Structure formats: C-alpha cells, structure tokens
Structure 1
C-alpha cells in the first residue's frame, strides 16, 4: 500500500516535528493455535469471554500482530511483549493497549481495531523533533452492513441519536439513501479514532465531538468539554478496502499543539507476510 502524506509541501516550508504512523492490515487468523501462545493470562481471559469464534479470532490476531511488530523492534518474542489495557475509568482490561517494559525510552503509541475480516494495528512515534511526551494514536475500522444500500437499518436509530449531534444527523439524513449508512459510519470511525487517541474510548459521549462531514478531509472541529481539543488532534482517512470505512487520529502533546509545523506521515501496509512468517516458526524464536 502506498504512503499517505497529510501535509502539503512547498520550497520554503519544513516541518519542525515529524510523526510517523505505520498502519498494518490483516485478515483474522483461522487457527487459534497461531496466536494463543502470544497471549498472557489477562488476554486469554478476554479472548475466551467472546461468544463467537470470529470475535475471538479478530481479538487474538490483533494482539499477536501488535506484539510481533513491537517485539521485532525491541528484540523480544511476542509472548514477552506486555500490553497494559487497563481502563482508566473502571480498571478492567478493555482500555487502550499501552506497551510496557520495552527497552525504548519512549515506546511507540499503539492502537488496534477489527471488524468483519479486517484487523488493523497502528503504531505511531515521533521521528523528528523534540516533544515533551510521545504522541498517542487511535484507529477504528467498521464494516458496512450487507443491507447498507437500502439506507440506515432501524437497529442503528438509537446509536445514531447517541453518537451524532443534530447537525450531523441532518447531514446524514440529506445523503442519498444508499450512502446514509456509509456516512454514519464515517462519522463514527472518525469520532472513535479521536476517543481512542485520547484514551477515553466509548466512555466519553460521542455527541460532544464535532468532526468534519463525510467527503471532507477528516478533522476534529469542536469538542464541547475540551475547547483546545482540535489544536492537538491530527486525523487521516485510511484505505481498508471496499465495504469498510476507517479513520486514524493522533493526539499531540501540549507543547506541539500551538505549532502548525507538525507533519503526520502515514504508511499503510499489509501484514499478511508478517503473520505468515510467524506461523512457520516457534513463537519463542520470533525475535528481531
């Protein structure tokens, strides 16, 4: 997949800070023995709690891929890469996964998402410039329901009211019927990506966020409870393939928010070779 550069260059402009984000796409693994050895006790419990086999496969594949990518950089096998997903609101292990115990002074930021036959892992870090803290990242992918061409299914009515404000609902309602479901999910993925980047997830009301409309460049326009939120968020639209929509958000530390010279560089890649390589070797030998 080709790289996506979110800035416009000219001869007299150079970024003070460059944030690089690698976005890895994969299909869920069908054999649980391929990913179970990489999961710790807490992750195994979460995996086993899923009722459907496809949900367990998506969860396990995302965790394995994240640990393979981080372990390759740190020189550790996947099973020795620890991801702390403690929710800051309730203490349960369903929050944003944070790498812990890695040799790097500032480990990269990490975000995972999965839907249908798409698994995505985003890894972000500052590669140029000095910031007081590392960035954080959020990614979300959603599959369009099979009946999306018929308009918004009735099952989404309550979700629509809870996640979009009045203006956003009006915009979705004015779209051609065949585009309304995709329009709603564009809003949803953009908002969830932002809330993942901030570490809040779905504990924060989505209606308090205003993002750009479908078809426009992804941006956070307003956040009622955090007036300076838009200054610190950089966003991008991803390419998950037909039948899906996806978005990415990066939260900058406070000392970078006032400077507009922040270049977010995104590279989307297929992770199929990474997972295929891992499947052919014992887990403990997958180092570096």
Structure 2
C-alpha cells in the first residue's frame, strides 16, 4: 500500500467479502444533466454491485433541468428519487442538491457520483469497504486512465497544486466526483458551503485536509461517459478536442474567485471548519 503523507492510496484489491460490510441504509446521490442514454444502466450496475452491503439502498438524482427526458427515465423505479431543480445552475449547485437529498434520507453512508457513469459499479463496494474498514470520514476515488480532454486534466492538476499549497500537503484528484462519506462528516461540509457554490468538491477537499478529517484515497478506473451524444457534458467529451471551450474559460475564472472568497483568503469562512466528533458505531 503506497503512502501519501499520513493518508493512504490503496491499490485495487479484490471486492470485499459480502459479509464484511453491513449497513442499515446506503444512499447513492447523483447530479445529472442530459444523461437519459446511460444513467439507468449505470444505476442498475451500481445497484447490483452494492445490494449485499446494505439492508436498504436508495438512489437520489438531482436533475439540472435536462432537455432529453432524464427525469422520466426512473418513473417506474421504486428505489430512485429524481428531484428536478428549479433552474439550470450547473454541476456544483446540482451536486450539492443531490447531497442534501441523500442526507435527508438518513443513511449510514452516502456515495456521490456523477450521472454520466464514468466509473465501474464494481468499484463501489471497494469504496464503501474502505470507508468502513478504515473508519474514515471520507474516501475519494482517485481516477486512473481518465479519458477527459487534455485541458480538463491540466485544470485538475493545476487546482491540485493550488490546494496542496493551501493545505500543506498534496490531495490526489482534488475534484473527483466519486466520494463516500460518513453523514456526520458530510453535514459539516455541506452546512459550510453556499448552495450555489460552483466547485464544492474543491472546497471539500481543502477543508478535509485542513480540519483533520480521516481521508482515504482509493484508485479506481475512469471510463468514457456512457451515451453517444455530447449533450450531457459541459466541457467536451473526448481527448481530441483541441482547445478549452469559452464557457470553461469563463467558469475557471469565476471558480478561482469563489475559491479565494470561500476557502483561500485568510478570513475565508471554510477555514473555520472543524472535524465533527465521531458518532459511536
């Protein structure tokens, strides 16, 4: 097992035995925008992978005003709740809405993943197993083999350098969308971040490092977005896209300003976050 500071990056072990994790309630939360082509198959894959790990598994999809019928995909599925957002606000606010919907269900553990399905369902038991066995507050899925355009990889790396400087140590894959949380740890983060934050996972990663959260990092495979259309992603699908879209450039400028105001400046409100007392289990 490789070491990174006093955190750990775990290799890809076999799926933990089915009787090694037993939760009362596991919530899976997803922000989604125009993912009708692939999201149901992704949810089915996750469900099959985690069914033995919890008495109840629930899915909570925050739909960012999709135009392709994403919200109707689960009309006949009992364990999936879809909340259509009042406005199209982008990934960050929609992810936060998904988190809040999952927390409202009072789970023992919560996993966030984007609705574009860029992960294997078989990695979810490993993520949840690490959360329980390591008694962690959060486990990040560190993406191997990303197929995103080059400029998204460069952006992630640059943000990682910025966060490492602010936190005093490196945080691998600082903006990963695959995360497993203990509810009490997540509530502390959610309560501190405005509902319209555009890069909540960047804020979370920095606050977790500064506040002494027990964080573990698990290598997971990153796969191409499910679905053949390009309408479900804001920043471009494949590695062959030559230049960052103007929309992304404007987003980065705005996100940097947000990071400064909320997390980086000396009096930033997220500097006041402290790790909550662990709940007896």
Q: TM-score range by the shorter chain?
A: 0.3 to 0.5
Query: Using CA pairs below 8 Å that are at least 6 residues apart, which structure has the higher relative contact order?
Result: 1
Q: Which has the larger radius of gyration?
A: 1
Task: Give the TM-score taking structure 2 as reference length.
Answer: 0.36
